Structure 1
Amino acid sequence: MTHIQININSKIYPAVQKAGQHLAIADLKLTLHSNEFICLVGPSGCGKTTLLNIIADLDPDYEGEIIVGRQHAHPKIGYIFQNPRLLPWRTVRENIELVLESKQRADIIDPLLETMQLTQSQHVYPERLSVGMSRRVSIIRAFAVDPEVLLMDEPFVSLDAPTARQVRELLLKLWQQRPHTVLFVTHDLREAIALADRIVFLSAAPMHVISEITVPIPRNDRDNEAALESFRQQLLQNYPDIKKLL
């Protein structure tokens, strides 16, 4: 995949009753490089989900452009929401099969199930899955379509810490096997440091990019809690305004 340039001049929500128009995003510019894992960090309600919906072409009402390579177009998207959105009347495997043509299914789904440790649960219905397992199914479904950009909107926000860590580790394992460009929204700076090649800090509305910081910790050291915490403290010391974004 070639790089993707996101230029959003403005995103305005219309007036509601007596309230005036709401300028959600203004003068936001962001470049996505091939197979890069980017974490977006910004205050609650600043417009992160709105940005993802624009990139996914779910919200065309904005001024700006998205350029894929040299073409004005929206990239092929895989979208992982906070809620896994699994159909309760279909099994794990059937929920994944929905996004694929029949001739592709076995070759694509079987290795994904194995990597995410769900092979034994592939014929189980969603009501019997734990929250963490449901998140893993949604990750598989998004990877299965081989997207140009994978959008993840706080997918681990409702998980307890041990489960979130397990699912993050499985996500990284899958991403390293099948590299994709990822935009991952989080409020957790530790999570961003553990996952990202680059962290993009976003302002309150009207949202724009405040700063972009490359994470220097090697991938094979990302399970070192001391290294992660040391870099987190360094960020908070060097960029004190970051605390306002969390």
Structure 2
Amino acid sequence: MTALLLIAHGSRDPRHAATVAALVRQVQAQRPGLEVATAYLDHCAPRIPQVVGRLSDAVAVPLLLNRAFHAKHDIPAALRAAGAGLPVADVLGPSPLLLAALERRLAEAGLDVASAAVRAGTGVVLAAAGSSDPAADAATRAVAAEWRRTRGWAAVEVAYASAGGPRVPEALAAVRAAGAARTAVAPYLLAPGLLPDRIAAAAAGADPVADTVADTLGPAPELAALLLERYDQARRAARSAPALTA
């Protein structure tokens, strides 16, 4: 069976690699028998050249939410440098599965997301990393708009932990101004680390503080299912490509 090569960014924070390992276990539980290998762009081992040489047949799946610099440049360049002509799956976002994972984390933090009345009275801050790529930030704003439209939140505003604003306190003020009776912060981030810690600290330091602060997406089963979905899509596309060019 074609292996799944999960390519993660990497971090000096050991929680990052631990989260990636837990996500791999979740993927393997959902697809028994599938070989799942992990490689990192930076900070963690193994790196892409250390992994691709032992994979005879694989699909590379980026553990990335948006098509920003890492997806457009870093991963293709690293694969080329390693001499690996692997098919590369699309990034994870946007997807209804990501919205379901976000709501799972909000529910775990104590918010009754199953209640339409609670959603109608709650303003959510979708707290992302932020990017220098305008298209990536536009994609995050589109996710926020879709989440509000499909789930009936009082408001959904985007905040960024790096790059440009708005920051979490500003976004919390915006959802309150929109009429939300309660507020929640949902990190649109994959694993713990510096930026999620910054988001949590900003939510706790806002005046008034956020009522609910969720955890990162982490090894949510919806995220594992989405990785497999992207893997399957790329695998089908790679199989059909020769017929299309023949």
TM-score (norm 1): 0.28
In terms of fraction of residues, the more strand-rich structure is: 1
In terms of fraction of residues, the more helix-rich structure is: 2
Considering Cα pairs closer than 8 Å and 6+ residues apart, tell me whether 1 or 2 has the greater RCO: 1
TM-score (norm 2): 0.28
